[in-house]
Amino acid sequence: NAGVTQTPKFRILKIGQSMTLQCTQDMNHNYMYWYRQDPGMGLKLIYYSVGAGITDKGEVPNGYNVSRSTTEDFPLRLELAAPSQTSVYFCASSHGPLYEQYFGPGTRLTVT
């Protein structure tokens, strides 16, 4: 199993550009999550999904959108990138709410 994979690893965006961060898991997990980690801080939940077709907002959803058309994939869309979205983004998945969350390697995004 590859676990949770994320692409790209690094990206630089100009203000106002858009992009999609990809996340795929091969563990057949129903639950998937997107977090962001700002410098020197812990992770904050952006969006999560409890299954295909079901998504919900986390703590810091503004400026982001998600979709979940399959169990495996949970892309995160940034529209109109802003410098405040400069961060490291982590995708995670779990078998259920009481189970361990497995994290991907992260995407470092810089918006200038």
Q: Which residues bind to another protein, rule: CB under 8 A?
A: 31, 33, 40-45, 48, 50, 56, 58-59, 88, 90, 92, 97-98, 100-101, 103, 105-106
C-alpha 106/C-alpha 6 separation (Å) is 6
When the beta carbons of 100 and 112 are compared against another protein, the nearer one is 100
Handedness of CA 92, 59, 37, 78 (dihedral sign): positive
By beta-carbon proximity to another protein, the closer residue of 13 and 43 is: 43
Give the whole-angstrom CA distance, residue 25 versus residue 97: 16
* Nearest distance from C-beta of residue 16 to another protein, angstroms: 27
Residue at token pair 């690893």:
9
For the CB of residue 34, give the shortest distance to another protein in the complex, in Å: 11
* Separation of alpha carbons 86 and 10, rounded Å: 11
Minimum distance, C-beta of residue 93 to another protein, in the bound complex (Å) = 12
> Closest CB to another protein among 74 and 90?
90
Task: At 2, list the tokens.
Answer: 């590859």
